[in-house]
Amino acid sequence: MTGAPIRDGGVVFSAGRIDAIGSPKDLRRAYPDSVIEDAGDSIVLPGLVNAHTHLELSQIRRGDRPIHLADWIEKTLLPQTARTGAVTPEAVREAVHAGVRQCIAFGVTSVGDISKQCMHSRPALRDGPLRAVSYGEIQAMAQRRGLFEERFAAAADTSCESDWLRVGVTPHAPYTVEPEGYARCLAFAKANDRPLATHLAETAEEATFLASHSGPFRHLWEAGVNAWDDAVPRFAGGPIRFARELGLLDYPTLLAHVNYCDDEELAILARGKASVVYCPRTHEFFGHPPHRWREMLGRGINVAIGTDSCASSPDLNLVDDLRLLHRLAAEMPPMQLWEMATTRAARAVGLPDVGVIRTGCGADFVAFACRSDDPLREILERDILPSGVWVGGRKLG
Ligand SMILES: [Zn+2]
């Protein structure tokens, strides 16, 4: 998504990569032996990139709107995870496969996947067909501080890496990982050039918890997890300054959500290298105040979109998240919205060869049958599914 659509265009690919782009006539002349696949009256876009999801939670249903994120964790996420046995290898594999099937059906060919059970999810992802950056998730705070080493070792394990799977790490959030844990993850990412992500400023109460160990997250640690310990370091200044102090903003860290951000914090983010991933339908589900994504884009911050998991989004249909943005911001040119699900999302997860139709890049495409002269807008204003999906040149749907 770096230029306007090419009318009557064609693309040649082999061995999973794009060889040439141009007019069908010129391409036929230059590549006379190629097999021709006609996408018909369609627009062919780069395969979409869902920059923030949790495939292992694809079997969980989100239920009614919660009063608060901590409430949702306590009453929806933790009980459903326990009830469905979602941590066994088979359950994780099944959930990941269900998530992958959804992604392909909705035209998503790459994901930034957060995985607490990465020792089970990575074997399910390493042979494709989806491209995944698997961020191994670490939660280790208070009385669970001692779990850090074991969880970090699992998160940083690259033994499943393949052409389809890249390993990254994610200290979960400022209310589940202490500064020392964040520092270890950042040092690992820097030393090994690895993708790094964290959930940040998802709720207003994150700042309260950091500063005074009070509010719903403290309640969750005491009543939901029963593992609180007063030795957790405090930080006054909110999660965005917390991230800056730790050095997370001097690295291309993926910051999931950033739903709460004042003017000064916006300026701090604009001076850093981190990307923000906004999850529109999940954001709406939790009833957060309007997200400042347009101002972020205007300040030069890389903003991508993601769905988050099926535990907070109706499904993994990333185009429906774009449709919501189109309704919220009708004045935004559709091209700029699509960039957030392609080039910007690829940049956020650190996959330079996807999200774009360019010679040498991965042959990942999604086609939508369109009838108007403004297909990028038409897809956002009609309830249509992809008419074709290709990953690495292989047609999957
Ligand atoms: Zn998430």
Cα of 168 vs centre of ligand 1, distance in Å, is 15
Rounded to the nearest whole angstrom, what is the distance from the C-alpha of residue 54 to the centroid of ligand 1?
6
Q: How far does the centroid of ligand 1 lie from the alpha carbon of residue 278, in Å?
A: 10
- The residues whose Cβ lies within 5 A of ligand 1, an ion, are 308
Distance 27 CA to ligand 1 centre (A): 43
How much is the pLDDT for 83?
Answer: 67
Reply yes or no on whether the pLDDT at 2 is more than 90. Answer: no
Ligand 1: centre distance to CA 77 (Å) = 12
Least confident of 169-173, 216-220, 289-293, 301-305: 216-220
302 alpha carbon to ligand 1 midpoint, in Å? 18
- Residues 112-156: pLDDT tens digits? 999 999 999 999 999 999 999 999 999 999 999 999 999 999 999
The per-residue pLDDT for 25 is: 93
The alpha carbon of 139 and the centre of ligand 1 are apart by a number of angstroms equal to 13
Q: What pLDDT sits at residue 170?
A: 98
Tell me, in angstroms, the distance from the centre of ligand 1 to residue 287's CA.
Answer: 16
pLDDT at position 66: 75
68 CA from centroid of ligand 1 (Å): 15
Helix (H), strand (E), coil (C) string for 225-250: CCCCCCCCCCCCCHHHHHHHHHCHHH
Confidence of residue 61 (pLDDT cuts 50, 70, 90): confident
Confidence (pLDDT) at 84:
62
State in Å: Cα 37 to ligand 1 middle.
38
More confident residue, 62 or 6: 6
- Whether the per-residue pLDDT at 76 is higher than 70: the answer is yes
pLDDT of 85: 57
> CA-CA distance, 222 to 256, in Å (whole number)?
25
Ligand 1 geometric centre to CA of 2 (Å): 28
pLDDT at 95 over 90: yes
Q: How far is the CA of 28 from the centre of ligand 1 (A)?
A: 45
Q: pLDDT tens digit string along 364-392?
A: 999 999 989 999 999 999 999 999 999 99
Measured in Å, residue 313 CA sits from the centre of ligand 1 at 10
Q: How far is the CA of 279 from the centre of ligand 1 (A)?
A: 9
- In the predicted structure, residue 50 carries a pLDDT above the cut 60: yes
CA of 202 to the centre of ligand 1 (A): 9
With a cut of 70, say whether residue 86 has pLDDT above it.
no
The predicted structure's pLDDT at residue 111: 98
Query: By percentage, how much of the chain surpasses pLDDT 90?
Result: 87
Distance 311 CA to ligand 1 centre (A): 9
Q: How many angstroms separate the alpha carbon of residue 41 from the centre of ligand 1?
A: 36
281-340 confidence digits (pLDDT tens): 999 999 999 999 999 999 999 999 999 999 889 999 999 999 999 999 999 999 999 999
Q: What is the pLDDT of residue 186?
A: 98
- Across the chain, mean pLDDT equals 94
Q: What is the pLDDT of residues 224-266, one digit of tens each?
A: 889 999 999 999 999 999 999 999 999 999 999 999 999 999 9
User: From ligand 1's centre to the CA of 213, what distance in Å?
Assistant: 22
Distance 309 CA to ligand 1 centre (A): 6
pLDDT of 59 strictly over 90: no
Residue 344 has a pLDDT of 98
- Report the separation in Å between the CA atom of 326 and the middle of ligand 1, taken as the mean of its atom positions: 22
Centre of ligand 1 from the C-alpha of residue 257, in Å: 8
